[in-house]
Amino acid sequence: MAEGKKNTEKVVAVNGNMITIEFTDRVMQNEVAFARVGDDADTKLKSEVIRVRGNRADLQVFESTNGLKVGDEVEFTGELLSVELGPGLLTQVYDGLQNPLPLLAEKSGFFLQRGVYLRALDRTVKWAYTPVAAAGDKVRPGDRVGFVPEGIIRHYIMVPLAWKGEWTLESVTPAGEYTIDDVMAVAVNEQGEKRNITMTQQWPVKIPISDYAEKLLPEKTLVTQQRTIDTFFPVAVGGTFCTPGPFGAGKTVLQHAISRYAEADVVIIAACGERAGEVVEILREFPELEDPRTGQPLINRSIIICNTSSMPVAAREASVYTAVTLAEYYRQMGLNTLLLADSTSRWAQALREMSGRLEEIPGEEAFPAYLESLIAGFYERAGLVKLRTGELGSVTIGGAVSPAGGNFEEPVTQATLKVVGAFLGLSRERSDARRYPAIHPLDSWSKYKSVVDQKEVEFARGILRQGAEVNQMMKVIGEEGTSLNDFVVYLKSEFLDYVYLQQNTFDDVDGATSAERQRYMFDRIYKVLSGAFSLPDKDTARSYFLNLRQMFMDLNYLAMDTQEFKDQEAAIEAKIAERSTVNA
């Protein structure tokens, strides 16, 4: 379809939030259209083509279709569902279609009006622009022509990623303060076509941004400062992970901790179909959370895509793709971005609902048969890449999954486990026991590299496994039917659980443990786990390990560079020496 050309068609069927039209002109898959409600010229509902068959097209509408009827007009835009990219994205709260929600609320009042769509970026703010290219330079899509400061990052102004071929910069705007719509450079191609480069550009959300030199294997650990994750179930920079768990198992608190302390430059939260109460919690707490790297509010390097369960179902899919596209955009600047999607189960439910309306052959539990490929396609947009400038940039994706009843065998969880590199399974049993983070230490796994020696980690997991077996045995035959050696193994597993796996995210010291401190502490814990102790009976063993456990837990709340930490460490060494014999 020619650029700027629009065609208008008629609605021939309405089924919930899906409409069907018969077209006479060309229509594209994923093309955006606006359905006019009756004769109301002001109410146009945004929609997207999701299937084309013959001369009919099915569109999912991102709003309530109340009042829409057969015969109403649908105006096609000739453009794919896209997002606007440029300075001013950070600190914003958008809906799934990239409407800024604070401005939308101001315009709509208490209840959001349908059919209202706003520009994603502020046109009035002036940015301090510095050029890095000069007239006469040969450039390609994605090459940098200048930059503006956006919070703590350097936001590069690029040749639009959607352009094709090589261009020559005819002119470059000098340094100064400009709005995002001002022309920063003028480029011309070999055919003589001349185009303006501004601070903004568009990119279709369902097409990955692949303008880089090479995609690399994620190897470096993304330090989240959560001991259970970094030591036992690490995540890689540019890797993928999922956090399935039942309701109330602590997914939201864990996400807050990861987003605050993970070594990422930009954090993007996609609240996809979550309950409004949980999203409100994010909106209230994120601006108040202090970024430990800068001392400023965490929201200054964050973007929130907000699409609650009470908002239109079709927009859930858009919210996930909008979020990952924004993450890829900042990756193109050589930054490490972290995308946390909560929850992909709601996205899958939206897909199931639309698949039913399309009357497709259902897969397991009525999810679409192509669910696995869609989930895989989403997580494949993560990765560590080498840009043409030689810099490295990454997108790390973590998806929360909310399986009904905590059943990890359901289709969404299983499809996710096939493609992610780390599985952080949250346990109802551990959350009920107030053991947070409630990541199950035996069910979870990771393919990435730990911050601690792998052999020691495997030894510690062996202690946890043996301790769990002894615990189950004691539930059947009682403590008196257990040998002293088995009982000591159980006490060691509980010791490891309490002093290392559990972490108080609300404490200034224990809430975030650096990689250096994790190695330091795990080395001392490993000596206890692998050590042999003179313990004549079970009562002595219980008392000894309870005291040792409490001393280590007190140590977790002390900063390493203090005299109190050194004194507590000396007391622990003396306590270990009381009963220690020869290391096993």
Burial per residue of 63-95, b for 16 or more beta-carbon CB atoms within 10 angstroms, e otherwise: bebeebeeebbbebbbbbbbbbbbbbbbbbbbb
Closest CA to 581 of 542, 539, 543, 544: 544
Q: Encoding tokens for residue 405?
A: 């009843």
245 is in an annotated binding site: yes
Is there a binding annotation on residue 244?
no
Identify the burial level of 393 via C-beta atoms within 10 angstroms of its C-beta, where 0-12 means exposed, 13-18 middle and 19 or more buried.
Answer: buried
Task: For 246-391, list the strands marked E by DSSP.
Answer: 266-272, 302-307, 336-342, 383-386
- As a dihedral over the C-alpha atoms of residue 461, residue 463, residue 465, residue 468, rounded to 10 degrees, the angle is -140
**H or E element at residue 7:** strand 7-15
Give the position of tokens 């107030």.
434
Q: Across-strand partners of 57?
A: 21, 52
Looking at this protein, which amino acid is placed at residue 253? V
Tell me if 295 is assigned to a ligand binding site.
no
Angle, helix 276-285 to helix 251-261, in steps of 10 degrees: 30
Whole-number Å distance between alpha carbons of 26 and 404? 42
Per residue, the 3-state secondary structure of 97-132, as one string, reads: CCCEHHHHHHHHCCCCCCCCCCCCCCCCCCEEEEEC
100 marked among binding-site residues: no
How many angstroms separate the CA atoms of 131 and 137, rounded?
12
**Which tokens belong to 463?**
């202690």
User: Crossing angle, helix 563-579 and helix 515-530, to 10 degrees?
Assistant: 20
d(CA 99, CA 93) in angstroms, rounded, equals 8
- Find the DSSP H helices in 170-250: 227
Q: Whole-angstrom Cα distance, residue 21 to residue 9? A: 7
By the 10 Å C-beta count (0-12 exposed, 13-18 middle, 19+ buried), 505 is classed as: middle
Cα 18 from chain centroid?
A: 28
Q: Tell me the sheet residues that pair with 396.
A: 338
Task: Take residue 239 and report the two structure tokens written for it.
Answer: 């890797």
Find out whether 377 is annotated in a ligand binding site: no
Cβ-proximal residues to 545 (8 Å cutoff; 6+ apart), any chain? 488, 491, 492, 494, 495
- Residue 318 annotated as lining a ligand binding site: no
B/e letters for 315-326, b = 16+ CB within 10 Å, e = fewer, are bbbbbbbbbbbb
**H or E element that contains 539:** helix 538-556
Whether the CB-CB separation of 94 and 268 falls below 8 Å is answered with no
* 421 marked ligand binding residue: no
Is 248 annotated in some ligand binding site?
A: yes
Binding residues for ATP: 245-252
Binding residues: 245-252
